[in-house]
Structure 1
Amino acid sequence: MGAKAEQYLQHLDAGRRLDLPETTAGTIRLDVRGDGCTDHWYLTIADQHVRVTRAADDADLVLSLDRPLFDQMADGEMHPGASLLRNELTVQGNMRLLMMLRRIFPGPPGARHPRELGRAAMANRAAVAGRNERP
């Protein structure tokens, strides 16, 4: 597994994740294949926290994918839902948790939150309106 992806997982449980709904709870196991072996990462989600361990225990959702694809997910270059539709990963279990992965892993490089875009658009409109009101 790429060093960046491994480091990202090890730092996931650094604190509360406000982007996760408070009611989200469950377990996800990532089976990452490569170099003739499979690495298992076990994510426990509860109370807006994500705890990461190395275990092959049963989980509510199990994802199986290749290392290069996982590295892309950790870099924000791959959306889990899109990869599922392209048949690049296999999923077994609670699909609701699959959609939570997009909140756990980073978005595309340079992406901005929709609220940020809305605020910028409103500020731009206000500035244009202010210029148009001057005699």
Structure 2
Amino acid sequence: MMTPAAKLIERLESGRHPDLPETTAGTVRLDARSDGRTEHWYLTIADQRIRVRRCSDEADLVLRADRAVFDRIATGELHPAAALGRNDLTVQGDIRLFMILRRLFPGPPGARHPREVARASRASVRAPVTVVRGRNR
């Protein structure tokens, strides 16, 4: 059975990620602890693409957390910055890479992109009502 974090990491490797700046390059290691063991995922980021391996090599950025925390991040239930602030996630290395990497994680379930919200609110705005002699037209 694949965990939500494993599914997300598998999706990261497929295709180009236009949410990543073209100049982003680096390595990230995710250390997921569970049942006294640590699973390692090693991500190599370059040219808006991500290559994933299973190894514990040194990386520019290392993220450590319990597997359950990574699963909650992968489903959008937990924002990576919130996990970091609560010490559920630790970060070692290039914090700029962490800030960029957050773009790849999903938002909360049911969340909409801000542009979609703006378009919907503009569409629902009616023409202004003009009041003439105390009556609406």
Partner of 1:6: 6
Corresponding letter in the other structure for 1:11: R
Partner of 1:39: 39
**SS of structure 1 residue aligned to 2:84:** helix
Equivalent runs, 1:17-36 vs 2, <5 Å: 17-36=17-36
Partner of 1:16: 16
Distance 1:71 1:4 in 2: 5
Partner of 1:60: 60
Contact between 1:5 and 1:70, CA under 8 Å: does it hold in 2? Answer: yes
Distance 1:17 1:112 in 2: 19
**SS of structure 2 residue aligned to 1:41:** strand
Distance 1:2 1:72 in 2: 14
Partner of 1:120: 120
Distance 2:7 2:123 in 1: 38
Larger Rg: 2
Corresponding letter in the other structure for 2:104: I
Say if 1:70 and 1:2 are closer, same or farther in 2 by CA, change over 3 A: farther
Q: Percent identity?
A: 60
TM-score normalised by structure 2 residue count: 0.86
Q: How far did residue 3 of structure 1 move?
A: 2.2
Q: How far did residue 132 of structure 1 move?
A: 4.2
Question: Deviations along 1:54-96, whole A, 9 cap, x unmatched?
Answer: 1111111001100110110111111111111111111110101
TM-score normalised by structure 1 residue count: 0.88
Contact between 1:42 and 1:52, CA under 8 Å: does it hold in 2? Answer: yes
Distance 2:32 2:94 in 1: 18
Aligned length: 131
Structure with more of its chain in helix, by fraction: 1
Unaligned runs of 5+ in 2: 131-136
Distance 2:11 2:46 in 1: 16
Distance 1:106 1:84 in 2: 16
**SS of structure 1 residue aligned to 2:101:** helix
